[in-house]
Amino acid sequence: MTARPATRFVARFIGDFNLLEPDAVARVFDRRTSCAWAIHPEAFDVLPAPPGEGADGLWVEASVTDLRVHGPVLRYLVLARGIALKVDALNRPSAVAPHRDGQVWLRLDLAGMHEIA
């Protein structure tokens, strides 16, 4: 149930999803949907540059509003086309660690996104 919430209530109750309503999905990812999307923060890859030709996943440029270290995890708070998102990445030497107001590219792994009623 917690990995794939079936309803908005469950996604909010367990609390650590990016819950995007259909209009926000369209704004951020240029995708039309009739369902909300619940996205795990770790479903994103954080990269310093735009994707190359033929890159898989959904991509969006974002600005970092805050960066928090939670032990082995970096929690990025970002704005993507005006929508606030939480993004988690492992805290390792190769991790992208921009300063506040830095620009990053996010790749959404669709396996970490769940449509909900």
Domains of the chain, by residue range, sit at 8-116
Mean pLDDT lowest among 25-39, 77-91, 97-111 = 97-111
Using the predicted structure, report yes or no on whether residue 16 has a pLDDT greater than 90: no
Under CATH, which number does the domain 8-116 receive? 2.40.50.140
| Backbone CA torsion sign across 39, 3, 55, 64 | positive
Q: What is the mean pLDDT of residues 14-29?
A: 92
Q: What is the pLDDT of residues 23-49, one digit of tens each?
A: 999 999 999 999 999 999 999 999 888
| Backbone CA torsion sign across 9, 25, 33, 5 | negative
Amino acid at 18: N
Using the predicted structure, report yes or no on whether residue 1 has a pLDDT greater than 50: no
| Backbone CA torsion sign across 90, 45, 75, 16 | negative
Calculate ∠ Cα 72-77-80, nearest 5°: 135
Mean pLDDT lowest among 18-32, 45-59, 72-86 = 45-59
Looking at per-residue pLDDT, the higher value among 14 and 89 belongs to 89
* Nearest Cα residue to 90 out of 41, 56, 57: 41
What tokens were used for 96? 């992208």
